[in-house]
Structure 1
């Protein structure tokens, strides 16, 4: 793996019983911001779940900072942050309880960054509410605050702007710009198009299959 490559994917194959998604798919991503772009059903979320180790590919290799997902899944998982925003698994937790529990599983957790993101996303009034009681936008802001503060070498964010108001969108652009400068860290965002004001280092287009 080249020195500047954080994530190496080689020959990735994944298909559902009803359709294929990825066929011999490969990419090498350096530190910074990467956008996975595609239409509905192009496989954006599936790819993020594969990179997170939550789905198992039929073939191919995923290596993060020299750690192979297939050979060392536990070590790999310690380097990744992923929460599916569509899942209701966390809904009974308050935002504060979920965020307070993250440092235990995030070796590079940044408490100062969390404080900044909480303020930037205007989340203080929502911290003691259960996630199920939050709007779509507020829940995603909580999840993104945790993701951005995690410090994880591979941070995966799916459809970040769903339900976001304009000030939160503007803050997200600033926060992603800041994260892009962190050495050795790769943030992969899945969305339909480029987000204005974000310095994307890499754009990966997925074609619908």
Structure 2
């Protein structure tokens, strides 16, 4: 597909139920773009992408939004927690965006599962980096998604916080039976999960430089 002035091509791949995927590659190789395709935020210009039996390009925009809300949880590199809202209110937003009443019991349960249940009434500036990461993961898990997409989740973390985040991601994927897709150039993920038999790897080549005018 073409992204700006650059054409990106992705190899064919398939991920079986229960599998997890680590996308590796240098900056500009298309890791974040492939995540956006998996989320239905971008449409491929050729080929097809099927997620949980659904070819996303065939969905109308409203249906694609509904599919995304029901099937996907997203853990971005920048956590995008609203500074003016408490943790509980931040986690209510996915429900509001879907036209649903916030499930406060579910919010309490997921935060408790991740060890941050006592932080419900704090605001983002009152959280440590590790606490904020757990809140972001809780937000991604709220609606029992089939997939968690994580974009460079450890890039700005020290080794201790990196280990804690990877432990949370792997535990969440195992406990909730979801497919975890991580896009990262962080070699610590490979070192930590090298023996995880459920983890598949896909290395993307760097995008070619644009032709000279």
Is the structural similarity TM-score above 0.5? yes
Counterparts in 2 of 1:1-209, with a 5 A limit?
14-21=1-8, 23=9, 25-30=11-16, 31-72=18-59, 73-74=64-65, 76-77=67-68, 78-82=70-74, 84-86=76-78, 90-102=82-94, 105=98, 112-119=109-116, 124-125=118-119, 128-130=122-124, 139-182=132-175, 185-192=178-185, 193=187, 195=189, 196-198=191-193, 199=196, 201-209=199-207
Q: Which of the two has greater helix per residue?
A: 2
- In structure 2, what is the Cα distance between the partners aligned to 1:182 and 1:141? 15
- TM-score normalised by structure 1 residue count: 0.71
Query: Which whole-Å deviations, capped at 9, do the CAs of 1:3-52 have from their partners, x for residues lacking one?
Result: xxxxxxxxxxx21232122x253211122321111111111111111111
Specify every segment of 5 or more residues in structure 2 that has no aligned partner in the other structure, as ranges: 208-213
How far is the alpha carbon of 1:170 from its aligned partner? 2.8
Given that residues 91 and 107 in structure 2 are in contact (C-alpha distance below 8 angstroms), is that contact kept between their aligned partners in structure 1? no
- In structure 2, what is the Cα distance between the partners aligned to 1:70 and 1:174? 34
Indicate the residue corresponding to 1:11 in structure 2.
none
- In structure 2, what is the Cα distance between the partners aligned to 1:169 and 1:149? 22
Report the more deviating stretch, 79-88 or 153-162.
79-88
**Equivalenced residues, count:** 190
Given that residues 52 and 81 in structure 1 are in contact (C-alpha distance below 8 angstroms), is that contact kept between their aligned partners in structure 2? no
How far is the alpha carbon of 1:186 from its aligned partner? 0.7
- TM-score normalised by structure 2 residue count: 0.70
Query: Which whole-Å deviations, capped at 9, do the CAs of 1:96-117 have from their partners, x for residues lacking one?
Result: 312133456599x685343222
| CA 1:89–1:96: 2 relative to 1, 3 Å | closer
Q: Secondary structure at the match of 1:60?
A: coil
- In structure 1, what is the Cα distance between the partners aligned to 2:177 and 2:127? 33
Q: Which of the two has greater strand per residue?
A: 1
| CA 1:15–1:51: 2 relative to 1, 3 Å | same
| CA 1:16–1:64: 2 relative to 1, 3 Å | closer
How far is the alpha carbon of 1:69 from its aligned partner? 0.8
Report the more deviating stretch, 154-163 or 109-118.
109-118
| CA 1:94–1:41: 2 relative to 1, 3 Å | farther
Aligned-pair RMSD on alpha carbons? Answer: 3.4
Q: Secondary structure at the match of 1:28?
A: coil
